[in-house]
Amino acid sequence: MKKTLTFLLISMMAIFLSACGGDDPNTIEFWTPLTGDDGAYMDQLVEDYNATEPEFKVKHVVTSDMYTKMYTVLNSGNGVPDLSIIHADRVPSFVSQDLLEPMSSVMEAQPDLNQENYLSEAWNAGNIDDTQYTIPLDIHGSAMYYNKDLLAKYGVENWLDDNVVTFDEMLSLQGELEEGDYVLNDALLSWVLLAQIQNLGGDIQENGEPAVNTEEMRQSIEAVKELADADLMTPYGEDGYLMFQSGNVLFSTDGTWSSTGHAQVEGLNFGVTNIYSFEPTVFHNRSSSHLFSMLKNEERTDEKEQGIADFLEYVRQHSIEWAEAGQIVASVDVIESPDYEQYMQSFFTSTEEEKESLYIYTYEHYPYIAEAMDNYVADLVHGEMDIDQGLEEMQKFVEDKVEEGSLDIENAETEEAAEE
């Protein structure tokens, strides 16, 4: 009798879980890699939308290994989600592998899902050969937070008069700091260097081939290394992010989403500006974008695509909720609303110059390059490895990955790990 009851309970649970899957004709299964606090904000957006009682409700599924699972379900043809969020650097590879459906039918169903209603950099990240494969949710990436009290302590508030702190300005404090204080940390160091490459007019590819061992990469690493050699950067191996929150670092080069974490630190008097640069007239903030996409799925009906369009239009109008997560919302209606100005990241859309500073890398092999930089640049900047040797090894690392012939989705850098 007990065995029979156990079997019945297991069977009922299996049926229940099956009903919650992507095969439910009245539910839009929506996958995201939002494993941090931002996942809770997306949960709230979905809950608010479902409260409007749409024909197709949305089920938000968060997973830390989303890209791996995507390839698994696509290979099997079972359990493919109706809608998903992918990062901008994944779009070229997914399109080249014929994994994405164009957003044409969704855009036809909701005409306001168009280029004019989104930040151009985010919209263009999903456009391949004049076909729109994604609808943007946000732009996110590098930001530089500053400690207002420390700026006043060292008399350098004027560095922010033009909203760009330069290498020369930071170097001017060499030998002037009290013990335990630092000018900057090495948070998201790879992203800082990617911004410098753009500042120098460089790139990470040449004629479609990865280009890591370049003069611009060398100059960028050498410039940041000079700051570390001058004892202006937090020591290697120390948590510079927490040191900033403790009040011992003037500048923290972490992410746009970090404003929510910094705001929770009692007594931290801080603001945000651009990533430092060589000169105030040329500056970039390495960025990416969370993009709504539809994986190839023959089971997705026209009616469900209409439901997806309705959900995306709701998000476009109501994504002020997403600003709570510290993201730069992609919807023009939202970022131009007075309510958006209360969020610190609104700085990055406050002028056309700031909008143009947001640079999204969409090179097909970017994930390999990001992985190589994460593996090497900290050692190079902190003098643990010779720069010539490091650049050669980084270039070989990326070329070997490309030679393997397919994106290593388990080992390539994923942005959700950096954002946690």
- Quick: pLDDT tens for 183-234: 999 999 999 999 999 999 999 999 999 999 999 999 999 999 999 999 999 9
Mark which of 298, 322, 350 sits at the end of a domain. 350
Q: Please say if the pLDDT value at position 411 is more than 50.
A: no
Q: How high is the pLDDT of residue 18?
A: 37
Gyration radius from the chain CA atoms: 23
Residues 400-420, mean pLDDT to the nearest whole number: 56
The phi, psi pair for 192, rounded to 5°, reads: -60, -45
CATH code for position 398: 3.40.190.10
Residues 281-291, mean pLDDT to the nearest whole number: 97
25 CB-near residues (< 8 Å, 6+ apart): 301, 304
Task: Give the dihedral of Cα atoms 196, 197, 200, 202; nearest 10 deg.
Answer: -170
> What average pLDDT does the chain have?
92
Q: Please say if the pLDDT value at position 1 is more than 70.
A: no
Task: Identify whether 305 is part of a domain.
Answer: yes
Residues 162 and 264 both lie in one domain: yes
Residues 305 and 283 both lie in one domain: no
**CA 127/CA 133 separation, integer angstroms:** 6
Q: Please say if the pLDDT value at position 407 is more than 90.
A: no
Q: Please say if the pLDDT value at position 20 is more than 80.
A: no
Task: Identify whether 1 is part of a domain.
Answer: no
Q: Please say if the pLDDT value at position 347 is more than 60.
A: yes
Residues 241 and 269 both lie in one domain: yes
Task: Identify whether 200 is part of a domain.
Answer: yes
Q: What is the tally of structural domains in the chain?
A: 2
Residues 176 and 277 both lie in one domain: yes
Residues 235 and 342 both lie in one domain: no
Residues 157 and 214 both lie in one domain: yes
pLDDT in tens, 353-395: 999 999 999 999 999 999 999 999 999 999 999 999 999 999 9
Which tops the pLDDT comparison, 420 or 97? 97
Q: How high is the pLDDT of residue 127?
A: 98
By percentage, how much of the chain surpasses pLDDT 70? 91
Token pair, residue 206, equals 């040449």
Residues 334 and 230 both lie in one domain: no
Task: Identify whether 17 is part of a domain.
Answer: no
Q: How high is the pLDDT of residue 14?
A: 34
Task: Identify whether 410 is part of a domain.
Answer: yes
Residues 223-252, mean pLDDT to the nearest whole number: 98
326 CB-near residues (< 8 Å, 6+ apart): 38, 140, 255, 256, 257, 258, 259, 260, 343, 344, 345
Domain hosting residue 247, numbered range: 141-287+365-419
Q: Please say if the pLDDT value at position 418 is more than 80.
A: no
Residues 93 and 38 both lie in one domain: yes
Token pair, residue 400, equals 């070997």
Residues 174 and 280 both lie in one domain: yes
User: Where do we find the tokens 């900047």?
Assistant: 381
Residues 314 and 267 both lie in one domain: no
Task: Identify whether 7 is part of a domain.
Answer: no
pLDDT-derived band at 11 (thresholds 50, 70, 90) equals very low
Residues 160 and 245 both lie in one domain: yes
Residues 271 and 300 both lie in one domain: no
Most confident by average pLDDT, 34-43, 69-78, 227-236: 227-236
Q: Please say if the pLDDT value at position 16 is more than 90.
A: no
